[in-house]
Structure 1
Amino acid sequence: MPSPATESLRLVILPRRLLPRRMRIALRRHGPEALVWRRRVAILGGAVLVGLVALVFADTADRANALFHLFAGHWWWAPLIATPAGFAGIAWMTLRLAPLARGSGIPQVMAATRNPEAALSTLVSARAAFAKFFLTTGALLVGASVGREGPTVQIAAAIMGRMHRALRIPLRSSVYIAGGAAGVAAAFNTPLAGVAFAIEELAAAYEQRMTLLVMTAVLIAGMVSLGISGDYIYFGAMGQTLELRQALLATPVAGILGGLAGGLFSRLMLASGTTTAGPMAWLRSRPILLAAICGGVVAILGVSTGLTWGTGYETAHGIIAGRDAPPWFAAAKFATTLATAVSGLPGGIFAPSLSIGAGIGDLLRGIFPAYPPGAVVLLGMVAYFTGVVRAPLTAVIIISETTASRGLMMPLLAAALLGDFAAKSVCKEKLYHGLSQRFLRGAA
């Protein structure tokens, strides 16, 4: 007669078909291969991978940005040749290798939520994610005014979708929303901003059942980023605050001025893809030539100013810290960012928009010279950023988390809401929504 231990071992190694029916049902529902466990593994594994890839992408992008600045510093004239040629080359590679990797990446994720299953092989495919990583890095290598945050959203959504597909889990829009939110959290080291971005921008109708998925993905990706890179503050801590009287005067001016400028950027960006005006329509049918011309604009402004290359992070950080910028910086960075975005190169506008907003904030310091300078700059940043992306809650949380300026939450929120209102008067359609419609039409 076999011992109890032998009998238990025999039950473990018996084929599942020989187990009692009730036990087989229990294993299907609660065992390691059950859907609920596979979904948890996909969320955990996907979020960890998002955090790691976001860190690698951030380091690679920063190195590419620094390398171009070194190159431009040694040979001031070289970008006049290298930047237009680089724009044309990257535009050609994007069209040839991964047309759906062009631009920011956020509109692609928004469009992907409409048809999650089909999008995994198109808008958020592995091919698009790989191309986004390397082509955005290439854009920074030639001085383009792009950021890595929007591309991180598309890459993160692709990772989360691929992880779910590998574990045979049905794809829903919440998978891409959670991936994109985790990408924002890891890119800026701002978990709360990731959640706010998912609610405001990626999800047209935020379903209650998405909450746990989004929160889990954001927190895990954020912990991975925090554990490896440390508890850093993106722009450095800024502890200045405004008195009530100062806030009541500066906030409306910053909100309206920044919002109008952000709305103008969105309107020009959307119009560039829809206008029937002869020259622009002709250039849209010749995307390589359009990219080369845009690269020429970026090169001329960059060589002339020396401040408009790349993400603009260093300049924005300096302005927040109290260094003055030339009065034309905001307009010049606005032009280079618009030219880069119109060219269709893979790359985001988050970091350049924050840099433009810092330039607007620097102009506001001249209007309010006796006010705390860093606080005034942040009002300009949040207003302009809101004017572009039209997500005031996300803008406020990103600014407050990237500068540790929690004492300014109320003025920042007021400036963001005013900026959103002012931007609507210039451009009624949200930028990312309008751009996502182009991808939806292309997929139809």
Structure 2
Amino acid sequence: MPLWSRRLWLRRVVWWGGAVAIGLAAILFADAADGVAAMRKAIIRHDPRWMLLVAPLGFALSSFLTRSLFRGAQGSGIPQAIAALHMTDTRQMDRVLSLRIAAGKVLLTVLGIFSGGSIGREGPTVQVGASIMLALGRLVRVPDQASRRALILAGGAAGISAAFNTPLGGIVFAVEELSHSFEARTSGTMLTAVILSGITSLALVGNYSYFGHTTVALPLGRAWEAVLICGMLGGLGGGLFSEILVRAADGLPGAAGRFLVRRPVLFAAGCGLALALIGLVSHGATYGTGYEQAQQLVNGTSDLGASFFALKFIASVLSYLSGVPGGIFAPSLSVGAGIGGAISAWLPHSPAGAVVLLGMVGYFSGVVQAPLTATVIVTEMTDNQGLTVPLLATAFLAYAVSRTVCRRPLYGALATRFLRTQTSSAASGAEPASSGPASSEPLASTSAPSATRSSGMPPV
């Protein structure tokens, strides 16, 4: 179109409004999550045993609503956004990233957090952001796939940026994880969306750092032992977590898989009961996103104990297996902070605060296998550029170790599984997880997962 085309400027104004809407949605999502977390804490203060009832009922309700009213809202939302980038059928793309599914994603994630699920809101915000931008694309009748893909990338990047208040992290996430490339056609739309969503967040909640401001440094010498140890342990732990989730997406083995197929709502209730029991053991530390616990570890004000990271790890696995909507970003950061806090006592030459941040970036990089994204997000969340080089070294070491445990990047593997599920459902005439047929186009930089077993499959 000509530079001063009326239609072109109409699209731009609509997309700018979409970026502002994503910022508003992320803020409201965060407020709702914080509100229900406060309600859950009030229940625990009254009597922690109430969670033995609240968690199973909440998970059962979330599973029922996901499978009946909001099919396609399950999981973190990032695999759905990645899968949509590789769809060629525009109607299918619109169904996967519909505003109805996005609304259900927010509602059910908030319900899961209230019920004590070890889940986060950042991944779901990616799906919400992509859905908002794609809906506006339909409004102005964007005709070509390249422009729709640009809108999905822009919405996903703006979602991460607004959720964490990390604009650079949003851009790097879109390049490294969502698209695996940086194309001139998409870069302008994405950068503009990130900037405007960030301005919206800045105007309404101020210029904050997710975990506050830290000035801790890691001097050269023996202190760098922490880089090696956190990179190794974070990569092993993150790779194990990803491998469990990828294998679970292909189907649970034995009696558990058969029970999941026959009684998915009861299975979710059982996961909720197990989470409540873990919460009682941890005195409530494993419930919710883990933001508060991670912040305490970063600031050195925590008395969580060495078992926290293991219990939070198990709680995160159970939350995923239940099939309730929710992300893994915040819980992964919490587990990583727990790893760093647990080993800091064994590293007297390394500042404890630095070890916590290295553990955080190591485990997070091991889970998502996106070392640049992990480094930039942790750096921006703590407002600490002095640790950039140690964080980078830890993240890339963790990435290499994680790849030996889990050969398939988590989000790419789940996105491939999502597409295959839709394809098989369409071929059999059944309604797919988020409606509509699926493209069989392979995902970039992602190897295909193994064939689906018949023992049951948690939603991706």
TM-score, with normalisation over the residues of structure 1?
Answer: 0.91
- Please identify, of 375-384 and 302-311, the stretch whose mean Cα deviation from structure 2 is larger: 302-311
How does 1:5-404 map onto structure 2 within 5 Å?
A: 29=2, 33-34=6-7, 36-115=8-87, 117-170=90-143, 171-275=147-251, 277-285=253-261, 286-306=263-283, 307-323=285-301, 324-404=303-383
Q: 1:47 Cα deviation (Å)?
A: 0.3
Structure 1 residues 74 and 32, CA gap change in structure 2 (3 angstroms): farther
- Please identify, of 434-443 and 333-342, the stretch whose mean Cα deviation from structure 2 is larger: 434-443
Q: 1:226 Cα deviation (Å)?
A: 0.8
**Does the Cα contact within 8 Å between 1:325 and 1:362 map onto a contact in 2?**
no
Letter in 2 for 1:252: L
Q: 1:121 Cα deviation (Å)?
A: 3.1
In structure 2, stretches of 5+ residues that fail to align are 424-460
What is the distance in 1 between the residues matched to 2:409 and 2:56?
Answer: 30
1:426 equivalenced with 2:405 (yes/no): yes
What is the distance in 2 between the residues matched to 1:283 and 1:274?
Answer: 15
- Quick check: which has more Rg, 1 or 2? 1
Report SS of the residue matched to 1:407: coil
What is the distance in 1 between the residues matched to 2:244 and 2:2?
Answer: 54
What is the distance in 2 between the residues matched to 1:308 and 1:283?
Answer: 26
What is the distance in 2 between the residues matched to 1:174 and 1:342?
Answer: 32
Report SS of the residue matched to 1:104: coil
- Please identify, of 164-173 and 335-344, the stretch whose mean Cα deviation from structure 2 is larger: 164-173
What is the distance in 2 between the residues matched to 1:206 and 1:118?
Answer: 26
Pick the aligned partner of 1:417 from 392, 396, 403: 396
In structure 1, stretches of 5+ residues that fail to align are 1-27
Q: 1:294 Cα deviation (Å)?
A: 1.0
What is the distance in 1 between the residues matched to 2:250 and 2:87?
Answer: 24
**Does the Cα contact within 8 Å between 1:247 and 1:411 map onto a contact in 2?**
no
What is the distance in 1 between the residues matched to 2:210 and 2:51?
Answer: 28
Q: 1:304 Cα deviation (Å)?
A: 1.6
Structure 1 residues 33 and 442, CA gap change in structure 2 (3 angstroms): farther
Report SS of the residue matched to 2:176: helix
What is the distance in 1 between the residues matched to 2:257 and 2:249?
Answer: 8
Structure 1 residues 325 and 276, CA gap change in structure 2 (3 angstroms): closer
**Does the Cα contact within 8 Å between 1:88 and 1:289 map onto a contact in 2?**
yes
What is the distance in 2 between the residues matched to 1:195 and 1:378?
Answer: 21
Letter in 1 for 2:268: A
**Does the Cα contact within 8 Å between 1:42 and 1:160 map onto a contact in 2?**
no
**Does the Cα contact within 8 Å between 2:94 and 2:134 map onto a contact in 1?**
no
What is the distance in 1 between the residues matched to 2:184 and 2:259?
Answer: 45
Q: 1:441 Cα deviation (Å)?
A: 1.3
TM-score, with normalisation over the residues of structure 2?
Answer: 0.88
Structure 1 residues 219 and 119, CA gap change in structure 2 (3 angstroms): farther
What is the distance in 1 between the residues matched to 2:222 and 2:102?
Answer: 46
Q: Deviations over 1:174-204 (max 9, x none)?
A: 1101100000000000000000000011103
Letter in 2 for 1:421: A
Report SS of the residue matched to 1:77: helix
Superposition CA RMSD, Å: 1.4
Structure 1 residues 120 and 274, CA gap change in structure 2 (3 angstroms): closer
**Does the Cα contact within 8 Å between 2:133 and 2:155 map onto a contact in 1?**
yes
What is the distance in 2 between the residues matched to 1:246 and 1:337?
Answer: 33
Q: 1:89 Cα deviation (Å)?
A: 1.1
Q: Deviations over 1:256-307 (max 9, x none)?
A: 1011000000011111122462123213313212211111111100012121
What is the distance in 1 between the residues matched to 2:98 and 2:222?
Answer: 49
Q: 1:32 Cα deviation (Å)?
A: 6.3
Report SS of the residue matched to 1:101: coil
Letter in 1 for 2:279: G
Q: Which runs of 4+ in 1 moved over 4 A?
A: 28-32
What is the distance in 2 between the residues matched to 1:299 and 1:408?
Answer: 37
1:406 equivalenced with 2:366 (yes/no): no
Q: 1:370 Cα deviation (Å)?
A: 3.9
**Does the Cα contact within 8 Å between 1:115 and 1:173 map onto a contact in 2?**
no
What is the distance in 2 between the residues matched to 1:371 and 1:247?
Answer: 4
Letter in 1 for 2:30: A
**Does the Cα contact within 8 Å between 1:119 and 1:125 map onto a contact in 2?**
no
**Does the Cα contact within 8 Å between 2:123 and 2:327 map onto a contact in 1?**
yes
Q: Identity rate of aligned residues, in percent?
A: 44
Q: 1:247 Cα deviation (Å)?
A: 4.4
Q: Which residue of 2 aligns with 1:19?
A: none
What is the distance in 2 between the residues matched to 1:161 and 1:197?
Answer: 19
What is the distance in 2 between the residues matched to 1:438 and 1:362?
Answer: 35
Q: 1:31 Cα deviation (Å)?
A: 6.0
**Does the Cα contact within 8 Å between 2:218 and 2:224 map onto a contact in 1?**
no
Aligned residues: 416
Q: Deviations over 1:62-110 (max 9, x none)?
A: 1111111111221211111110111111100110011200010000000
**Does the Cα contact within 8 Å between 2:297 and 2:338 map onto a contact in 1?**
yes
What is the distance in 1 between the residues matched to 2:176 and 2:310?
Answer: 28
